[in-house]
Structure 1
């Protein structure tokens, strides 16, 4: 049994990897097309909105550190049946979300290198296998790999910004809102999912050496890192590319071309792979531990429970996720299912998990405190976003029914008695 526990550096790398995604390569252009330079306000607004979401999950994780993550928080707040539904939403959405994410990364690489569909599928397969392989070895390796990759990614993004800044022109900020101020809201909706991922890393709360001390620090550091990377890149794109930004399909490549010439396409491809791998690596680390925790609590078959304790590797749960992911890939390829539908279905489940966790925060966190009010605000906003998932809401509904109908009802997570914070549980 491995005894490795997450430290601050590895924890921050995993958190940053969960938030950042390959969408950052194209989103600055899409947001600028919607709102012009005023899209910078959309980036800033969403970053500020991340604060109550992130602090809510950090506070809950510090009180209830467990591999069940949001499912554990919901169990403490609303009981095992609600917890089972939330667990199913996240666990069974992952086999759809991971291949879709890998394919998006493959498409970016193929576009950057001039390849076609075969290149995109090959890269996607390699990324998917690498993420599963990294997690099969355990957090000791996957955490260190994540630390190296996030560090390299930060360096590449910094190179893109620094080499392009000499070409910046403040005049590109005018007119600031060519499409009106309401367009900022449209830009924010495009950017929304580039700030998601906080729900995924809650399952790793029990893996920290000292959750009560480390989780707030990691969360704060992640917010700073993500904010600097996102805002720095978005501002540089606007200042350097100006009117060209809105019509670009690869704005980061254009930035890199300013300082690095023909090497820009290769670096863009490398960044796409790093971003995609980082996201999948973090989500798989969380989902595999969630599966073991659900089995421990009688919601999934008991054979999957091995690996639910901190420091262990949940290889059986990870294997099931791999098999389900392979089945999703086979079905998608054989039927030609649109990628957008697969991603929308997975997104509806992940949003539902986030809403459930925030509502649990409203129930469990000290009423009237700043973090409680943040939970109220974030739960309200995310609830509205969830409604706009449309037909995809059917997926979490059916998974919830399956969870309630098929679970053997245990008493819930055993690490902390229901409704009792960690601080009270410790002697």
Structure 2
């Protein structure tokens, strides 16, 4: 993609995402469905010392998020990390990076949506078929919102994130009177190994910084707005995670590692109300927020990949700022439907699909951070953030294990497409 294409993209429409909407998109994407269960899993692994794991990951995510914000501000394009890879390493790496997000996320959509649906199923009754049906409904809602463009998607996200933040703050405030510092003892019952396990679990709760980069050209002034939205989001997300993690330990104590819905359990402690109802409400809000961001990002990315030759040119319509990528959205809808059918017919474990998606996302992070080292101004703090983030993400990538084979298969697919397609990517 040429520089003129990017610059025209950022000027072509007067309807823009705002900084508050950018923060809402980031918070919705990063807090994610992991917020529903991971505080309890971390507490089970490390006890009160899981708070150290939260703090470590908040600090680790800062340079990663800052690098994404700096790159998106300098190179605002619907391709997101694929654009960064194109500028830094060329069309082959760009295509592979784009395929990792586009198809990797499609594979994980049933799992991501089933998190929220499972809470509803538990409330109203039903089995796996009911859960998958409700999950499909949640995805269709997100797709329907995005049919009208990112300006509506951003407004919806602002409402969802505002409601989620209200729920989280309300949960912490209402549960705080029952906090007991005695629950901090013993602080590290499983030692350093427990803290390491908690970190490996919680790392999945801090993925999502890459999503908003695909929407960068829809901001009025990406170079100013993206780093600002990123900085605010780092603080908001860090405070919310530490607050929820801290209250989970201080209020629930030994029960923190036993509950499947720590947020609902905390709010139930404060209100004395039905934990199942609270869990369902929180789960639906969180899940819709995640799906809304990912559908918007995938649709924009698909259009950019079509424009650049990494996917059929038919998909290219909708890659510019303000345009609605309906063709790409149709592919996202169809691909998601296929993923649901496969998951239902094969009984494939949803967690495995989600871990395969996470392997792709971490690989994207590594390429994007390495691109930051190459593209950001030398000698400045942004370059140093990128260097630090590259080292940290490489360490996280090793945790993906055998699931990296899925990312490798998609990489081969992307390279074969480039080789045999008639059109070559634009440079």
1:216 and 2:227 equivalent? yes
Instruction: Tell me which residue corresponds to 1:416.
Output: none
Q: 1:253 to 1:410 in 2, by over 3 A?
A: closer
Q: Which residue of 2 aligns with 1:306?
A: 317
CA distance in 1, matches of 2:88, 2:261: 45
Deviation at 1:126, TM superposition (A): 1.4
Q: Identify if the C-alpha distance between structure 1 residues 121 and 410 changes in structure 2 by more than 3 Å, giving closer, same or farther.
A: closer
TM-score (norm 1): 0.93
Per the normalisation by structure 2, the TM-score is 0.93
- 1:213 Cα offset (Å): 0.8
Task: State the match for 1:424 in structure 2.
Answer: none
| Contact 1:113-1:265 at 8 Å conserved across structures | no
The corresponding residue for 1:178 is: 189
CA distance in structure 1 between the partners assigned to 2:44 and 2:410 by the alignment: 37
Q: How does 1:221-260 map to 2 (within 5 A)?
A: 221-260=232-271
Cα-to-partner distance string for 1:226-259 (whole Å, 9 max, x where unaligned): 1121111111111111111122222222211222
Of 289, 296, 301, the match for 1:290: 301
How far apart are the structure 1 equivalents of 2:93 and 2:404? Answer: 16
Distance 1:244 1:114, change over 3 A: farther
* CA contact 1:237–1:245 (8 Å) conserved in 2: yes
Q: What are structure 1's unaligned runs of at least 5 residues?
A: 413-427
- Per-residue Cα deviation, 1:268-313 (whole angstroms, up to 9, x for no partner): 2111011111111111111111111111112211111110001111
Greater displacement, 384-393 / 207-216:
384-393
> What residue number does 1:97 align with?
108
Q: Distance in 1 between matches of 2:91 and 2:145?
A: 31
CA contact (8 A) 1:3 1:312 kept: no
Matched, 1:142 2:153: yes
Counterpart among 95, 107, 121 of residue 132 in structure 2: 121
Determine the structure 1 residue equivalent to 2:75. Answer: 64
User: Which residue pairs with 1:391 in the alignment?
Assistant: 402
Task: Give unmatched runs, 5+ long, in structure 2.
Answer: 1-11
Cα separation, 2, equivalents of 1:115 and 1:153 = 26
Task: Tell whether the 8 Å contact from 1:203 to 1:290 is kept in structure 2 after alignment.
Answer: yes
Q: Distance in 1 between matches of 2:199 and 2:172?
A: 22
Q: Secondary structure at the match of 1:209?
A: coil
Report the Cα offset of residue 10 of structure 1.
1.0
Query: Would you identify which runs of 4 or more consecutive aligned residues in structure 1 move more than 3 Å?
Result: 111-116
Tell me the secondary structure at the aligned position of residue 147 of structure 2.
helix
Deviations 1:48-101 (A, max 9, x none): 111100110111111111111000001110111111111111111121122210
Q: Counterparts of 1:333-372 in structure 2 under 5 Å?
A: 333-372=344-383
Displacement of 1:400: 1.7
> For the aligned residues, what is the CA RMSD?
1.6
Equivalent residue, structure 1, for 2:6: none
